[in-house]
Every structure is written in C-alpha cells, then in structure tokens.
Amino acid sequence: MIARAPIERSCRDRYLAAMAVLGHGVDLVETARIRHLFDQHGSHFLDRVFTAAEQAYCDANPKRRFEHFAARFAAKEAVLKALGTGWRGGIGWTDIEVLRDPAGKPSVALHGQAAAVAAAAGIRNWLLSLSHVETHAFASAIATNDSSNE
C-alpha cells in the first residue's frame, strides 16, 4: 500500500468548514399582492413595511417599483423563517432591512427585536438572494455564524 500525503484543503473548503448555517428561509410573493396592498392602504402600508432607504430604492425605478417592493417583502419573510420566529416576539417589518452594496449585491441589516433574536441565536452574517419578474418575486435568506464580513 502506498502512503499518500494529506491533501491540503482549498481556501474555499476551509472557509466553508468554519461557517455554520444556522437557518434558511425562502419566500415567493405575487407582485399583484403588493400592488393591491398599496392600492388599499397607500403610504401607510409602505411606511409600516419598508424603511425609508428601501422605499427610495424601489421608487427610483417606477417601471419595476412593485417588483422591487415584492422582492424586499419576500426577503423579510425569508429572514423570519431563517430566524425561526415568524412574526412573534415583537419583531416589526422595519426591523428587517434589505440593503444593496455599490455593486448591487443585496444584504440584510437587522434592527430592534430582530437583531436581538439573531444575536441570541449566534447569527452574525446573512447570505441573501433576490429574484423577480413582473408577476412574482423570490427571496432566499441563509443565516450563518460567519463573521468574516464584520
């Protein structure tokens, strides 16, 4: 039998081995549902569910406005599923904020009770993916204990 030298793990393998997935949530939203809620409740709906920064981003592209709102709505629902709480425990819609970096990559910022729940669960980072078309928006949120982005 020939002895083999141990194979060095790649940087990616070492990174993934050190990162634990603590929760995963997905959500699918019909764009028409978000448009209907806006038609019924106007700016009260937007102010209750979306932060000023989220509203400014969605309003910047009128043609895709409700697609962007629907994607952020789906992201908030996906984050709640990853946290494992649903809407219990005093978490508000604006406690979960969807941001974008200069390159357009979406990210999650938690505030208030959502931040407290995440900290208690050891969640230090989020991987967020959004997708939308005219009729639907989808989001996937993965909560990890990785702190490399801090």
Q: 24-51 burial by CB neighbour count: b if 16+ within 10 A, else e?
A: ebebebebeebeebbeeeeeebbeebbb
Can you give the pTM of this predicted structure? 0.85
Task: Identify how many contiguous H helices and E strands the chain contains and give both numbers.
Answer: 6, 5
Pairing of strands 96-100, 106-110: antiparallel
pLDDT tens digits, residue range 54-112?
Answer: 999 999 999 999 999 999 999 999 999 999 987 777 899 999 999 999 899 999 999 99
pLDDT tens digits, residue range 17-29?
Answer: 567 999 999 999 9
Give the domains, in start order, of the chain with CATH numbers. Answer: 21-144 (3.90.470.20)
